[in-house]
Structure 1
C-alpha cells in the first residue's frame, strides 16, 4: 500500500501504521464495526478501543516528504477546507486521544440524525460543530506541508518542494493520474 510505504519512508520515529477498514488489507488493521456508509465510517476513529494519539491520513493521500513536524504537533490539528475557507477538511488530522471521547459521545447519541443533518458536508461538517475555532489548522501551523492536488494545480505545476502530504478529494484519485496506491 502506497500510503503505508510513504509514511514508513518519511516518518523518522517508531510508529504503528494501522488501516481502519472493512476490507482485507496487507497491513495491520482495525476492523470497522458500525456499518456507517462512506465517509461516515471515519467516525470510528473516535472509538474508545482505539488507543493513543492518531496522525490520520485518508487512504488516497500521497506522502511526499518528512512527516516529523506533523507527527510532533501534539495538539488537535485538521485542514482548512480548500474551497470553503471557513470550514474544515478531514483528509489529514492529528487527533489526540483526549479529544476523541467527546466526538464519539456526541455522534453516537444519534448517528442517523447527524448523517442526515450533514449529508452534504459529511464527517468534516460534523467535526466543524465541535472543532471549528478550536483545532489548529495545518495550513496555518505548517504552511505548505499539506496541499490539495486539485487546488494547488499540481497537474500543471507539480508538487511544491515544501509539500509533505498531497490530498485527493473527489476526482482525480491518485490512480487516475498514474500514482498507484
Structure 2
C-alpha cells in the first residue's frame, strides 16, 4: 500500500505543499508524489500525460506506474488521527461528496492494484480536449467507476472542514451546508478542505503551517 499525492505544475500548488502534507505522515507511511516538478527530499514519479490540473490524478489508475495498492489523498488535507485501519480496506473506494452525498468525489481514493487495468483502459485514450467536457476529474470518474464510499465504511472519521467544523464566524462557512461548532469532532481522523480556504491559510491550533512540523500521532 502506498500513500500517493499528485502535483501538476502551473497551478497554486508547489513542492512546498507536498512537503507540508508529508510532514503530517510523520514517516509512518510510504509516500509517493506523482508530479512534473522536482520535490526535494521525497520520492516522486514523473507524470506521463499532459492532462491539465486535477485531471493529472487520472494517472493513478495506470497499473504500470505504481505496482501496488494506492491510498490517494489531496494535498489540501489535514491528518488529525491514526488512519491505519483505512488502509486495510480492499474495496475500490472514494469520498461521498460532502455537499451532494449521492455523488462520488476524488479527494481521497482507495485504489486496489487489481482494479486499475480495467479503468485505465477507459481513461488512457482520452485527450485533453476530451477532458475539457468535464468540470473535474471527479465528474469524469463518476461516469466510469462504481466506487464504494469511504464515509460509509468509516463514519465520522473522514470529515469536511466546511461541513463539519466551520461556524458562521469562520472562513469557509456555508449557510446551506455548514453544521460545525468550530471544533474538530472527536472521531475525526482526516479533514478534507475540498476548495478554499486552504488549510495553510487558517490560523487554527490543529493545523501546522508550511514552516512547522505537525506533531506525530
TM-score, normalized by length of structure 1? 0.87
* Distance in 1, Cα, partners of 2:156 & 2:86: 12
Contact 2:94–2:110 (Cα < 8 Å) also in 1: yes
Q: Secondary structure at the match of 2:95?
A: strand
Higher Cα radius of gyration: 2
Higher relative contact order (CA 8 A, sep 6+): 1
State whether residues 56 and 92 of structure 1, in contact with CA within 8 Å, keep that contact through their aligned partners in structure 2: yes
Unaligned runs of 5+ in 2: 1-18, 171-180, 211-217
Residues 144 and 163, structure 1, Cα contact 8 Å, conserved in 2: yes
> How many residues get paired?
173
Q: CA deviation at 1:58?
A: 0.7
Task: Give TM-score, length-normalised by structure 2.
Answer: 0.73
Indicate the residue corresponding to 2:23 in structure 1. Answer: 5
The match for 2:192 is: 167
Match of 2:108 in 1: 92
Secondary structure of 2:164's match? coil
2:16: which partner in 1?
A: none
Structure 1 stretches of 4+ with a deviation exceeding 6 A read none
Partners of 1:64 and 1:166 within 8 A in 2: yes
- Alignment partner of 1:104: what SS? helix
Indicate whether 1:72 and 2:88 are aligned: yes
Unmatched 5+ stretches in structure 1: none
Matched, 1:22 2:47: no
- Deviation at residue 7 of structure 1 after TM alignment: 2.4
